[in-house]
Amino acid sequence: MQLVPPSCFAPDRARVSVARLAAEFAGGRTMLRRQQVGYPWHLGRGFHLDSAKPDLLTLYLQSASGGMYAGDELSFDVEVGTGAALHLTTQAATLVHACRDAAASLSQRVHVANGGFAALTNDPYILFPEAELSLATSAVVDSDGVLILADGFGAHRPARFEGTFKRFASELRVTRPDGSLLLLDRAALRGGDLGNPYDALGGAGAGGSVIVIAPAERLPAAEAIEAAAERAGCFAGVSAAPNDAGLVVRMTAPDGGGLTRGLTAAFHVIAETALGVPLAVRRK
């Protein structure tokens, strides 16, 4: 009798994926000039949702894979041309699964040309036990451009699971086209350091940021942003970005759902001032 060893499966290789978008103003509207989006992403059709701002293109970026996994190396390039206006948002929160062998990473590169408006607003990353995520964003923004970046995270522990996430880290570097540095923002948190009223989040279950790069006359009052976050059930603090670049908003919430509402409320206040008109609700 011949013995046959039991079947086994080698672990899947980590995913390496690059996506690219380029938006331009043409024919009275912002349109996609170039689109290269592969698995695990899916990009929905473009919407022009705002009657008061008909040239603003809104895109929903969806995940077809159920989230991010160990060793994922994803990158995304977004280019917004002269006078174009783009809002890129996610369809829901992104799950980050256990990363026992290697951290998941996402790199973003953004270029906003003269007179351009770009808003990249991600719903929070939901970190499962043993999850580890590293975010790195580099942006080049013209002196007359507007950039809004919003993201954050919430810790989640399903029933019958123990522990918390390993680490969440982010880095943002913003420069002018000539290479001069406007802002360098770094943050890192370990899940084991959270869970008490005196931790980095003050005992909250989720935390996030909104970074606004814009000319001074297109920035809202800090009090307006903080009040909007408070109405959404969050706690927010607003400070001036270095080099008169814009504003930095830090926010905490009881959980990921609360953080989503707070980030959304802050985005609408900021976008209304930057564009001069209120925006329609982005339904998800």
Residue 76: inside a domain, yes or no?
A: yes
pTM: 0.92
Residue 105: inside a domain, yes or no?
A: yes
The domain tally of the chain equals 1
- The answer to whether 181 and 240 are in contact (CB under 8 A) is no
- Per-residue HEC secondary structure of the chain comes to CCCCCCCCCCCCCCCEEEEEEEEEEECCEEEEEEEECCCCEEECCCECCCCCCCCCEEEEEEECCCCECCCCEEEEEEEECCCCEEEEEECCCEEECCCCCCCEEEEEEEEECCCCEEEEECCCEEECCCCEEEEEEEEEECCCCEEEEEEEEEECCCCCCCCCCCEEEEEEEEECCCCCEEEEEEEEEEHHHCCCCCCCCCCCCEEEEEEEECCHHHCCCHHHHHHHHHHCCCEEEEEECHHHCEEEEEEEECCHHHHHHHHHHHHHHHHHHHHCCCCCCCCC
- The whole-number pLDDT of residue 214 equals 98
Note down pLDDT in tens along the chain; length 284 residues. Answer: 454 444 444 445 567 889 999 999 999 999 999 999 989 999 989 999 999 999 999 999 998 898 999 999 999 999 999 999 999 999 999 999 999 889 999 999 999 999 999 999 999 999 999 999 999 999 999 999 999 999 999 999 776 778 899 999 999 999 999 999 999 999 999 999 998 899 999 999 999 999 999 999 999 999 999 999 999 999 999 999 999 999 999 999 999 999 999 999 999 999 999 999 999 999 98
- The answer to whether 133 and 103 are in contact (CB under 8 A) is yes
State how far the Cα of 117 lies from the Cα of 96, in Å rounded to an integer: 29
- The answer to whether 124 and 160 are in contact (CB under 8 A) is no
Residue 131: inside a domain, yes or no?
A: yes
Residue 40: inside a domain, yes or no?
A: yes
Residue 263: inside a domain, yes or no?
A: no
Residue 262: inside a domain, yes or no?
A: no
State how far the Cα of 76 lies from the Cα of 36, in Å rounded to an integer: 10
Which structural domain, as residue segments, surrounds residue 165?
16-203
- The whole-number pLDDT of residue 14 equals 61
Residue 266: inside a domain, yes or no?
A: no
Per-residue pLDDT tens over the stretch 189-203:
999 999 889 999 999
CA of residue 10 relative to chain centroid, distance: 33
- The answer to whether 237 and 126 are in contact (CB under 8 A) is no
- The whole-number pLDDT of residue 29 equals 96
Residue 92 has phi, psi (to 5 degrees) of: -170, 180
Residue 219: inside a domain, yes or no?
A: no
